[in-house]
Amino acid sequence: MCAFCGLLGDSKSSWLEARPDNGPARAGRLNRIKRANELLSLFRLTLSDQHGAYYVLSGATGKTEVINSLGEAWPAAERILGKRLDPLSLDLLNRLETCNESTKSDSF
């Protein structure tokens, strides 16, 4: 289990509950999903909510994984994509930088 499970994935997260910008829990959860998708889309992955209880992570080919928290996203993503994900991979970084350059933005 990843260390961020408790921070990102559930209502027990005191950290997220303590955020002053947090509105209703449901809205906060959907906002987290939206933000997470901004990054997951780099890998052609989509995260969706299921009844406010768990998440479904989907790949471009239709493969899906049910996860309980965002902390489980990366192992699930690797199973969906069938490869190891390395944020320090030079190939990945080159691709991301090219993408960033084409959108004329280094942020989202």
Partner 1 sequence: MNQRRAIPFNVLTGFLGAGKSTLLQQILTGAAGQGVAVLINEFGDVPVDHLLVDAVKAEAVLLKNGCVCCSIRGELKAALLGLLARLRSSAVPPVERVILETSGLTEPATVVATILNDPQLSHQFQMATIVTCIDAKLAAMQARAFPEWMAQVTAAEKVLITKADLVTPAELLGIRQYVQDINPVADIFDSTNRPQLADLFADKLPADLSRFAVSHENKHGLDSHLSEDSSHALGSTKSFFLEIARTLNWERFALWLSLLLHAHGNKVLRVKGVLRIEGTDDLIVIQGVQHLIQPPIHLTNRMAKTEVSKLVFIVRDLDPATIRRSFAAFGLARPIEASASVYAET
Question: Is residue 2 a contact point for partner 1 (CB under 8 A)?
Answer: yes
- 92-104: burial string, b at 16+ Cβ within 10 Å, e else: eeeeeeeeeeeee
Q: What are phi and psi of 56, to 5 degrees?
A: -120, 125
Question: Is residue 108 a contact point for partner 1 (CB under 8 A)?
Answer: yes
Residues 13-42 that bind partner 1 (CB under 8 A): 14-15, 18-21, 32, 35-36, 38-40, 42
Place of tokens 């939206």: 34
CA 92 to chain centre: 17
Residues within the interface to partner 1 (CB under 8 A): 1-4, 6-8, 14-15, 18-21, 32, 35-36, 38-40, 42, 70-71, 73-75, 84-88, 90, 92-93, 96-97, 100, 105-108
